[in-house]
Structure 1
């Protein structure tokens, strides 16, 4: 009886060590991939670090779920816990949906949009057309500076919703 408990405990330890090894390998691989993409696309270091932070947060969450399941929490208990937490978070984000959409838009802008800091852009909006230079792209907003010197903070999700023209 004691022998079975000891071998089960060692099995959990070995599985946890293997999981940690895989986690750190994936973390290092994803960090280098984002860094190479950011350097190749000529993105500022701050933007690269921000996207690394998002991916690291996702990997840490995944590591937590895997380690908890290794140490004997039943899958249905994990899913019940996760769904309860996601429900609470979902209600909170529903109240502040723009926060989540801006963070998601910030990641999309980082990986797929053709403009970068220093470009002059024109936002095609019938009510409030805007022509400005991109000064910074953060996780929630993009900072623009107009020709008259005004600083405009534009939520990232608007960059996905509006037509944007890059001025050469």
Structure 2
């Protein structure tokens, strides 16, 4: 019983943080679903964005709980920096993964094309013309006129010029 007497404030504040966590998760889910419905976004992509938001909310809640229970800020930074360093050394391409995820979220909220649109990527060495079949967290799948599936990283879509083609379907060869 002394545990509850000694840590009453921490227990109450932790309960409040957990309630706020649940409320924020529900609110963020509803806001993203509402946005997706009004902008006609695809459910699969909506769920990816919701997962990212929930992960961010969970991390912030965990940090708040750690601080509430008396872990010193310097110790938190030491653990976080050590963990990030280990992950950085283990995964040389970490920046690429994070940039693709970030680009995927930006594509969800603000980019002008969607699945089914025909696009041309203006790449000097390897121009691509095709129809978008899927937009994932890390890459976009484009099917060319020749039937080839090209997997294109999300972060490269922001580095290249892109044209949305309106008469692409007329150019396709009909096969029976």
TM-score above 0.5: yes
Structure 2: segments with no counterpart, 5+ residues: 167-176
SS at match of 1:161: coil
Distance 1:32 1:8 in 2: 39
Q: CA deviation at 1:94?
A: 3.5
RMSD: 1.7
Offset from partner CA, 1:87-121 (integer Å, 9 cap, x none): 22233444443222211211111112111111111
Counterpart selection for 1:13 from 11, 15, 37: 11
Structure 1: segments with no counterpart, 5+ residues: none
Answer whether contact 1:121 1:134 (CA < 8 A) is retained: yes
Tell me the matched-pair count: 166
Distance 2:54 2:94 in 1: 23
More helix by share: 1
Within the alignment, does 1:102 sit opposite 2:100 as a pair?
Answer: yes
Counterpart selection for 1:71 from 65, 69, 72: 69
Note the 1:1-168 alignment, pairs <5 A. Answer: 6-168=4-166
SS at match of 1:134: strand
User: What TM-score do the two structures reach when normalised by structure 2?
Assistant: 0.87
SS at match of 1:135: strand
User: What TM-score do the two structures reach when normalised by structure 1?
Assistant: 0.91
Moved more, 34-43 or 126-135: 34-43
